[in-house]
Amino acid sequence: MSDSIWSARVERAAAGLALAAVGGLLLLAAGTAVDVLLRFVFASPIRGFVDIASLTGAVLLAACFPHVLVSRTNISVDILGRSLGSGFKTALDRFAAVVTAAFFALMAWQYVRFAMEMHETQQLIPVLRWPVWLWWSAVALFIVLAASGAALTVWKRMPEDNSNE
């Protein structure tokens, strides 16, 4: 399979994951509205919703990272690169891609360690008493996927492939 086909598939998968995550965030926002309504109208919030919402939010936001990194839609400032010429801008873009990949690799390592620690210590959600490690394992998985996507971005920016710039 050619590199461009593989890259396109990765980009589509990351976009699908982000779309599902945004849908989940919309459901989470609706759940929050219902919880607030029940809290103020009936003085009876959804039991454990705060616990679930905080962990679900972390999972859903982490699920958006792979798309942001693979599609290269993260924030960048191009003023310096534009003023110093296209060669310098290309070098800055490559440097930024390497730093981003390194940062996400470090994050992935730490999130995997944290999820393992939550499993080992058997941490539970306070109200519902569900295991926390499952949620943080999902976050860790999405951060690992983001780090992989960032590495793909570095690879795509290698000097022999200037056709994507």
Q: 């570095």: which residue's tokens?
A: 154
Tell me how far apart the alpha carbons of residues 35 and 49 are, in angstroms, rounded to a whole number.
7
Backbone angles phi, psi at 131, to 5 degrees: -65, 135
Q: What is the pLDDT of residue 90?
A: 80
Q: What is the mean pLDDT of residues 94-110?
A: 92
Q: What is the mean pLDDT of residues 121-149?
A: 94
Which residues, including other chains, have CB under 8 Å from residue 154's CB and lie 6 or more apart?
A: 94, 97, 98, 101
Q: Mean pLDDT of all residues in the chain?
A: 87
Q: What is the pLDDT of residues 26-50, one digit of tens each?
A: 999 999 999 999 999 999 999 999 9
**Which is more confident, 3 or 100?**
100
**Which is more confident, 35 or 154?**
35
**Which is more confident, 158 or 94?**
94
Question: Phi/psi class of residue 157: alpha, beta or left (left: φ > 0; alpha: ψ in -120 to 50)?
Answer: alpha
Sign of CA dihedral 53, 73, 71, 66: negative
- Within 13 Å and on the Cβ side, how many CA atoms surround 79? 1
